Structure 1
Amino acid sequence: MKVGIILGSNEASKVTYAGIHSLIETSLDNEVVLFATMDGIKAFLKQPDLKREESSSKLIVEKEDPFQYIRKAKNSGKAKIVVCSYATKLFNLNKDDYSDVVDDIEGVTSFELEIGDGKIITIW
């Protein structure tokens, strides 16, 4: 099954949760497409902009790498990370501004067509 995860936040705890969920789904032999949009794209910049407002976010950033689970999911070969083309334009960014974990820039329509009848999870 294909699983789409829409990440609309750059809050460290939510980025970590998206990674954990990606890793769980790939461990269950599902394909995952993590679609970062709006503030979520800021987490995937070469110099990530992560919010640390929640107490859990402060602990995560102090004690572990928020991207470790995303990297593990990607290493499975069953996960890809895409960033929203609209948000990329909105923040005047381009492909070179993103970290190497990002596979592509695409629109929400392409993302939804790729997921098809799979499930979509949103994290805001």
Structure 2
Amino acid sequence: MELTELLNVIKDIKDKRVSSLLTSLKDGLTRMINIGLSYLHLNRGTNTLSGGEAQRLKLVRYMGSSLSDMLYIFDEPSTGMHSHDVKKINRLICDLKERGNTVIIVEHDKEVIKIADEIIDIGMCT
């Protein structure tokens, strides 16, 4: 079952005794879908995820946290992503910053670099 299908199943559950759990599940799944991971299947092991997929899952988890004043470090979170999905990850990164967190990213994608407050360019010596 893909994540979008799971979200639809969860939306159909109307039991008020588990409403807070359902809300939490719906929020997490929606963030995963919005960041371009809707194609993931429930039976897929985490050890089969690419580095970019694993980092995006971490981003989704962090976005569900109410913590602030945290330091997050991401190593090329846009790796293997379509440019449309890079915009989605940029939104999540900006949301982390707006919550009062510090985000450090090692990145080559120009679209991700554009959202930086500060850029440290470490190039090759010639």
The bucket for the TM-score relative to the shorter chain is 0.3 to 0.5
Larger relative contact order (Cα-Cα within 8 Å, sequence gap ≥ 6): 1
Relative to its length, the structure with more strand (as a share) is: 1
Report the structure number with the largest CA radius of gyration: 2
TM-score, normalising length: structure 1: 0.35
